[in-house]
Every structure is written in structure tokens, then in C-alpha cells.
Structure 1
Amino acid sequence: IDTAHLITGFGIDDTVQFFKSQRLSKSLFMMRYRGPSDSTDPKILFTYDLRLDRVSIGQEYNLYTCTFMPLPMVKQKHLIYKVNLQATGQDRFAPSTMHTNLYFYSI
């Protein structure tokens, strides 16, 4: 798969409503590699680790999983400029670990 469709919802608590005012979506082309020489990291950079252990996708043919994960509270607007996704496990029906690094800076 070379393109992923990222859908996010946000709110002030865990009962997120996916109304247009609280939803973002973006198609991402995942095949472009950015090597270290291409990196233009900002001088003030924050990273945030998101990790889910024992994630199973299910027995039926399915390509995604969905969950809510808390993000850090910030006082000003931030921009996520890089996402690093990692998954362990070869069998998609066996529980595996999903690990995501978010790289962001304040604007």
C-alpha cells in the first residue's frame, strides 16, 4: 500500500464526536523516503512516543485498527511535521506492538 488515509478527531474529553468541526482527514503518500541529509529539523523540537501493546486487527479481512490515545496538553499551536510508524510481529492476527513517534514544534 503506497497511500494511507489519515482521519483524526479531537475534543476536550474521550467522547470525541466526528462532526466536521472536530474532524480532519488527509491522504498521505507513504513511499517517499526522507534520508538524514534531507532533514530540516527545527531547532526547538518535541517528540512524543505513542505505544500500543498487544494490538490485534481481527479475524475478518481488515486493514486498520482504531483507538484513542492522549496527547500532551499544549498552550499554543503546534505543528506535527514528521510521524514515524513502527509495528512488530509478522502475523496480523497475533497481538503485536504499534509504536508511533510524533515530532512537532510550536508555531
Structure 2
Amino acid sequence: MDRRLIRTAVFGSPDSDEPALCPETPEELDAFRREHEDVTIWCGTMFEGGCGRQLMTRRCTDKICHFAHYGSGGEGHQCGRKERGKDSADHLFAKAHFGVLAA
């Protein structure tokens, strides 16, 4: 698997702790897009090296679907995220899970 593909993000804002996991298949991504059409997706600052820039979904048929940064607008900004795979948001999923249990 290409480890450069961004599989995890956060919903709502760069500083959010609400994790988002990009579906792998085009069909799952279509459903994900419908479910979250009014929600923005971000490269969260809760990730080590997360740049806080907005992300989009990429629908692929030749590799897994993934998140991608919007164009840099000529700024040449590079994201410093260390991990981009589906396990990189485990700490956010755990926090969300324990928050539900505590409620």
C-alpha cells in the first residue's frame, strides 16, 4: 500500500478531535460523501505534524480511496504528518469511545 495516501483526518476544523477514516472502496466513499456532505474535513493539528489544511476525498479505482490536501495555491506548503495510515487516528477514536462510556 502507498503510505503517502492520507487515510485519516478530522471533521469540522483543524483543531477538532472528531476522527474521520476514509473508506477504501469507491462505493463506500460515495456513501461517506453523501453522509458527510455538509461537513468539512481537515488535516488535524492533533496528528503529529498535522498542517491544519482542508482536505478533500479522492475517489480511486486503481488504488484505495483517500483524503488529499487542496492545492497549495502556489505557496508550496508541505504537510509534516508523520503517519497517514488508518491507525494514525487511534488516539482520537479511543478518546471518542471513552467519552461515550463516561456519558
TM bucket (normalised to shorter chain) is under 0.3
**Higher strand share goes to which structure?**
1
TM-score by length of 2: 0.20
**Structure with more contact order per residue of length (Cα contacts < 8 Å, sep ≥ 6):** 2
**Higher helix share goes to which structure?**
2
